[in-house]
Structures are given as C-alpha cells and as structure tokens.
Amino acid sequence: MNLDDFSDLIERPDGGIRRDAEERRERLTVPPGALGRLDELGEWLSAAQASVKVRAIEQPKVLLFAGDHGVASLDVSGRAPGSAHELVRAVLDGASPVAVLARSMSVPVRVVDAGLDCEPELLPAEVVRHRVRRGSGRIDVENALTVEETEAAVRLGIAIADEEADSGTDLVVLGDLSVGGTTPASTLIAALCGTDASVVTGRGGAGIDDLAWMRKCAAVRDALRRARPVLGDQLELLAAVGGADLAAMTGFLLQASVRRMPVILDGVVGAACALVAQRAAFRAPDWWLAGQVSGEPAQAKALDRMALNPLLDHGVHVGEGTGALLALPLVQAAAAFAAELPERPDPTTPETAATPEAEAAPQV
C-alpha cells in the first residue's frame, strides 16, 4: 500500500460550480456579506455537491474511532491507561456530551473500535468487530503498530468511508474516543511541521497537571526522535508513532475525499490524521471543515498548515467530536440559506420591466 496513490484519486470540489454559486449569491435578496461566513460555507457546499443550488444536509452522522495508546502508561493522560472502553460505553449509553448533543439534534452516532485495550465482550459486536489490535505500543520506545497492522487499520478506515458513502451519509462529523491519543497526535504534527515537543504539547481533553505535562513533553520528544527518520513514508510514520485509531482515521479521511463526502474535523487527533492525509494527497483538505478550536497548540499548528479556519471557538475541549457536532447547525444553516433564499427580480425581464405607460406616469 502506498498512500501517495490517493493523490491521483482525489479531485477538488468543482471550481466552476463554486464561481456560479458566488454569482448567484450576488443576486440574492439578502445583501452580500450580511450572512458572514455562512456565505462562504454555502459556496463550499455548492462545489462539494457539484450543484449551484445547495441540497440540504439530510443524513449527517457522527463517526468516532476508538483506541487505547500504550504511552498512556507514562501517566500523560487524565484518564487511566486502557480505559477508553469506558468512553465508548458512555457514548453507547447516551451519557457522554457527544451522545447528549447528537440525541438532541437527531444525528446518529457510530463507534468503530480500531484498537481498544479491553475484552471484546465488554462492548457490542458491531463496535468491536473491526478491531485491528488490542492497544498500541509505547511510542517513546517502540512502534505503535507493525506496518502490516497499519495497513490493516488504513484499509479499515477506507472501508468505513465506503460504507457511509454507499449508505447515503452526506456529511460526517469525525471524532475520536481514546486514552493517550493526544500524545501521538502531537508527535505526528510536530514531525510534519518540523517543530519541537514543547511547542505542540497541550493538556489533552481530560486535563493534566504541570508534572504530567512535562512527562508528556518528554514522551513527545522521544517519539519525535523515532518519527523523523520515517517522515518520507506516511505508513511507516503512522506505524512508528501513530496507532490503530489514527491510521484508520487517516484512511477514512482519504477515502471520504475520494467519495466526495464532506467531513467536519473535531480536535487535535483528527487534525493530526488530516495532516498525514494531506501529506499523501494535497487536494484532500478541500473536502474538510475544521469544526472548532480545541485549545490544543498542536491542533492550531496543523490547521494553519492546512489553511483550515475553525468555525467555532467556544472553549470546548471535551473531545469525542462534540465541538465539531456543535458546528453542524452552522453548516446546515448555510445549506438552507444557499438553497432557499430568493433571488432579486431581474429588471430586464418582461415581468419586471417598466411599461411605457408606467414610465410616462407623473411622479407623486
């Protein structure tokens, strides 16, 4: 497998359609600029859908890839190592923030176990049936995955993207359910952006104290030494310092772009996978939106590298796709405005042109 092959498979959203959509926007009854960034979103949707008049977002879905990371054993996370299955259970039970929000918005949620470190019997079969391996290696001293496992995880993401596109999903809100996942994500972003550990290391969705932050910095620093020699090969990079969930998300993002299925990214884990995918296929980011500012410095650096401007900045850093899901109503509103707002009457048409009698009538 060579991820660079995706570069020839991914096309940009239709630029001609976008220009036509921009011209149509100039003719709407609402003045240009009055809707702010929603105008830009509407035009982006037009290009993505290859239709000047945007179709409503009718079948969005929240997709969460789950996994445990061996580096969590260094006490770099606010959660216990191997406890990501508890996050999954909370989502399935409707007790997590993303589950509550999705229920209120009537958006279905799908969880895919790519690398949880738990007994399969703890979760439903439809969640665990895709698992690539149990947990991942400690990336500061060993590879997260073998190359074969990495390929299997990427293929899993590709298959999930095809399943969603074939089922009619018209937009995906992408998130992760992981323990220790922000450490490999920060490592990937630091490696791809050529920066140091201290610049990208944040405190994660669960929050950590200063001592844990220093341990996390050290882990990212040591993992970076292992990442730099394999920067030329995205699969080897994901194998060295990624994880099964990150590799699967990367494969998903690439294939979603092939299938012309828009994606809203959530936090730093999704941003890291997107950056790896961009390295493989430079057109892929044209199909993604950044949902929110998560507060992680690595996310900000990755989004800047991809020229993705987040839709929201509400200080939400709980993860799980919650911030990206909060941005979904904005995208749906942009679609509704672009589709339903009327155009101004054309004064040159017979129906609206002034008659000679009207032109000759005295002005009052």
Q: Which residues are catalytic?
A: 320
Residue 53 has a CB neighbour count (10 Å cut-off) of 12
172/123 Cα distance (integer angstroms) = 23
- The SS3 assignment for 67 reads strand
DSSP letter for each residue of 71-136? GGGGS-SSS-TT-HHHHHHHHHTT-SHHHHHHHHHT--EEEEEEE--S-GGGS-HHHHTT--SSS-
Rg (CA), the chain: 23
184/153 Cα distance (integer angstroms) = 16
Residue listed under structure tokens 């200080």 = 315
Strand order across the 109-115 sheet: 109-115, 60-68, 171-179, 263-265, 288-290
DSSP class of residue 29 equals: S
Burial 190-216 (b: 16+ CB within 10 A, else e): bbbeeeebeebbbbbbeebeeebbebb
Please, which residues have CB within 8 angstroms of residue 87's CB and are 6 or more apart in sequence?
66, 79, 96, 177, 178, 179, 320
Do residues 265 and 290 lie in contact, with contact meaning Cβ atoms separated by under 8 Å?
A: yes
Amino acid at 68: D
Do residues 312 and 323 lie in contact, with contact meaning Cβ atoms separated by under 8 Å?
A: yes
173/321 Cα distance (integer angstroms) = 7
108 token code pair? 């279905």
